[in-house]
Amino acid sequence: MTSMRIGQGFDVHPFDRDGTRSLVLGGVVFDGAPGLRGHSDADVVAHAVTDALLGAAGLGDIGTHFPDTDPTWAGVDSLELLRQALSAVRNAGWAPVNVDCTVITETPKLAPRRPEMEEKLSAAVGAAVSVKAKRAEGLGAIGRSEGIACFAVALVVREGDR
């Protein structure tokens, strides 16, 4: 019998309107768009994927492994955090099968860059990662273009059960 587990991830960051940060989503830089405020590069997609994988393996969350109080992680590439988290997931005996993400944002439009985001995330995870984009239709902080949120779900199996 195959041992499987599912994990859910979520992240949200406000826009940093001072113009000093780049917007990074799924490891892809969106030139000309305001960046997100956060301790690392504030990549909400990579953070949600990281949380989903850690949760599926029963290893806590991104804040436990990479606290925003630790200067080591200031400005770090979130795909590096994802790779390190994946190493912990694998060391715990789990292998990712797939991850599905839903990004909620009014801007920028993700469709033109979605294949690039999926490619970068899939390479970091070592399994298929799909990215979908949804709008908040003007509702709440996300709908007012104050930030971006992302939900992710990950499926992992016991190593050797693939």
What residue segments make up the domains of the chain, in order of their start? 4-158
Superfamily of domain 4-158 in the CATH hierarchy: 2-C-methyl-D-erythritol 2,4-cyclodiphosphate synthase (3.30.1330.50)
CA 44 – CA 31 distance, rounded (Å): 16
* Residues of the chain by 3-state class (helix, strand, coil), percent to 5: 35, 35, 35
Give me the residues of the chain with pLDDT under 50, please. none
pLDDT at 1: 60
Cα angle for residues 129, 130, 134 (degrees, 5° grid): 140
Q: 92 near 59, Cβ under 8 Å? A: yes
Please write the tens of the pLDDT for every residue from 117-142: 999 999 999 999 999 999 999 999 99
CA 30 – CA 45 distance, rounded (Å): 13
CA 156 – CA 7 distance, rounded (Å): 8
pLDDT at 19: 79
Average pLDDT, the chain: 95
- Does the model's pTM come out above 0.85? yes
CA 137 – CA 134 distance, rounded (Å): 9
pLDDT at 162: 59
pLDDT at 75: 86
